[in-house]
Amino acid sequence: MGRQPCCDKLGVKKGPWTAEEDKKLINFILTNGQCCWRAVPKLAGLLRCGKSCRLRWTNYLRPDLKRGLLTEDEEKLVIDLHARLGNRWSKIAAKLPGRTDNEIKNHWNTHIKKKLIKMGIDPVTHKPLHQEANHIAQPAVGPPQSTVHQSLSSALRPLENCSSDELRSSDNTSIDEDPLMSCLWGEEVQLIDASWKFPSSDGYFSNTVASFWEENCEWFSDCHEFRIADLGLECLESMGNPDMTGKG
Partner DNA sequence: AAACATTGCAACCGCTCTAAT
Partner DNA sequence: CATTAGAGCGGTTGCAATGTT
- Measured CA distances, 217 to 14, 17, 131 (Å): 23, 16, 54
Which amino acid, 109?
A: N
**Beta carbon nearer to DNA, 56 or 127:** 56
| Min CB(17)–DNA separation in Å | 4
- Mapping DSSP to helix (H, G, I), strand (E, B) and coil, where does residue 121 land? strand
Position 3 contacts DNA (CB under 7 A) = yes
Work out how close the CB of 217 gets to DNA at its nearest, in angstroms, rounded to a whole number: 17
Reduce the DSSP state of residue 156 to 3 states and report it. Answer: coil
Beta strand ranges found along 90-190 (DSSP E): none
Number of residues that bind DNA (CB under 7 A): 40
CB of 163 to DNA, least distance (A): 8
**How many degrees, rounded to 5, is the angle at CA 35 between CA 32 and CA 40?**
80
User: Which window, 25-33, 47-55, 203-211, 232-240, contacts DNA (CB under 7 A)?
Assistant: 47-55
Does position 98 interact with DNA (CB under 7 A)? The reply is no
Q: Does 1 bind DNA (CB under 7 A)?
A: yes
- Establish if 105 lies at the interface with DNA (CB under 7 A): yes
Q: What is the torsional sign of CA 93, 98, 100, 104?
A: negative
Q: What span, in angstroms and rounded, lies between the C-alpha atoms of 75 and 112?
A: 8
Compare residues 166 and 218 and give the one whose CB is closer to DNA.
Answer: 166
Separation between Cα atoms, residue 184 and residue 203, nearest integer Å? 32
Per-residue x/- track, 124-163, DNA (CB under 7 A): ----------------------------------------
Candidate ranges 85-93, 129-137, 141-149, 228-236; the one touching DNA (CB under 7 A): 85-93
CA 38 to CA 54: how far, in whole Å?
9
Nearer to DNA, 15 or 248 (CB): 15
169 is a contact residue toward DNA (CB under 7 A): no
Q: Yes or no: say if 29 and 50 are a contact pair by the CB < 8 Å rule.
A: no
Task: Determine if 56 is a binding residue for DNA (CB under 7 A).
Answer: yes
Task: Check binding of 115 to DNA (CB under 7 A).
Answer: no
Nearer residue to DNA within complex by CB, 8 or 215 = 8
47-80 residues labelled b (16+ CB within 10 A) or e (exposed) = ebbbebbbbbbbebbbbbbbeeebeeebbebbbb
Q: Does 118 bind DNA (CB under 7 A)?
A: no
Q: x/- site string to DNA, residues 6 to 35, per CB under 7 A? A: x------xxxxx------------------
218, 191 contact by CB (below 8 A): no
Instruction: Please say which residue, 145 or 200, places its beta carbon nearer to DNA.
Output: 200
